[in-house]
Structure 1
Amino acid sequence: MERISEAAVRERETERALLSGAFSEYVSEPDRLAAVWAAKHRELRRVSLLMDTSGWDAYEPEQDIQGSEWGRERDERRQGVLSAHAAQLARRQEERDELRTELWLSAGSGRLIRAAADRAGLSPAEVLAQLAERVVVGEDGTVSVPPFSPSR
């Protein structure tokens, strides 16, 4: 009962603060905070009513079918959000590892790359990408590419 009263007070306080714009700079999402307290207040009232109608002295989560279902749904949503976040972080890391550049070659080097690309049926950019994938850096810092034939 005490937790319900506290949640009711918090719900009223956050709603009032939201309406008046009186949140401190430490609250980044005041409308979310108000919604959280309102939801907590509703849930505590629901649990209290369930305990009264079921004659429980203490809350028994395993007997609360609706609460257990909501808990599973919350866990599934949380896991989905965490999975999506992990995938987004992996994509960002992959993007950071990529190198996109504009390359200006001398006329002679450009002709050689275009000729190799034409023979392989590739674009010059695809030949350069294959070339870059085969780069070998020696212990002394020298850069070389072993001979290869560009291919699809």
Structure 2
Amino acid sequence: MWGAEDVARASVRRQGAGLSAAQVADKVAEAARRERETSAQLDSPVADPGPYATDPEDLAEQWAARHTEWRRVAALIDTCGWPAYDPGQDVQGSQWARERDELRTGARTRHAAWQQERQDARDELRTEVWLAADPSRRLRAVAARTGLRPEHLLAQLADHARLNDDGTLTIDPFTPR
């Protein structure tokens, strides 16, 4: 869901809070070193990466994005003359954070709706009914007069059906909708 830039922005915003210009410069240097290392690993084959190894291209992309973001924060501190990085004063970083939160909220809402649809689908009953010719003709005639499809008329009949204590089935008069 999130690209390397999004992850880097969130990570730097979280880790950079309260860091001085010198500490941010150290983070820029570390990110540059890690970017070089991960880029170099792309060219060298790995014998056995193991079951928990990350994708080398993904890792290189993440460190390149972090390096870019740390440089942006260092330039911001230098330009604004801040004694330390304050994510609340970082207008661009705050806008990106709001956009990420909106995307996350939208994704959670869509996921909840999808889960509800799946639950509703599990609760549905799908069946095939074979009727004799005479009841079938009557059902089709009633459905035609009401403007419903026969399966919708049967569903409404089932909605209005009651099972009495003596085992008989009763359907009170109703108007199909």
Q: Do both proteins adopt the same fold according to a TM-score greater than 0.5, normalized to the shorter chain? A: yes
Counterparts of 2:42 and 2:122, CA distance in 1: 40
Is the CA contact (8 Å cut-off) linking 1:135 and 1:145 kept in structure 2? Answer: yes
Residue 27 of structure 2 corresponds to: 3
Which residue is 1:69 aligned to? 95
Higher deviation after alignment, 57-66 or 9-18: 9-18
**Equivalent residue number for residue 109 of structure 2:** 83
Matched, 1:125 2:156: no
Residue aligned with 2:171, SS: coil
Task: Figure out how many residues of one structure are paired with residues of the other and give that number.
Answer: 151
Aligned residue for 1:105, secondary structure, equals coil
In structure 1, distance between residues paired with 2:41 and 2:131: 63
Aligned to 1:148: 173
- 1:19 & 1:129 partners in 2: Cα distance? 64
C-alpha distance in 1, partners of 2:29/2:165? 71
Larger mean Cα displacement after TM superposition, 79-88 or 112-121:
112-121
Matched residue SS, 1:128: helix
Stretches of structure 2 lacking an aligned partner (at least 5 in a row): 1-24
1 or 2 for the larger relative contact order (CA 8 Å, sep ≥6)?
2
Deviations 1:40-83 (A, max 9, x none): 22111211221223332321122211111221222222222222
* Conserved? CA contact 1:51–1:58, under 8 Å: yes
**TM-score normalised to the size of structure 2?**
0.63
Q: 1:43, 1:69 → 2: CA distance?
A: 14
Distance 1:21 1:118, change over 3 A: farther
Aligned in 2, Cα 1:101/1:21: closer, same or farther, shift over 3 Å?
A: farther
TM-score by structure 1 length? Answer: 0.71
Offset of residue 5 of structure 1: 3.7
Distance in structure 1 (CA, Å) of the matches to 2:119 and 2:113: 10
Letter in 1 for 2:173: F
Q: Distance in 1 between matches of 2:69 and 2:168?
A: 65
Calculate percent identity across the aligned residue pairs: 48
Residues 106-134 of structure 1: per-residue CA shift (max 9 Å, x gap):
33432332243244343322211111222
Calculate the aligned-residue CA RMSD, in Å. 3.4
Note if 1:107 corresponds to 2:133. yes
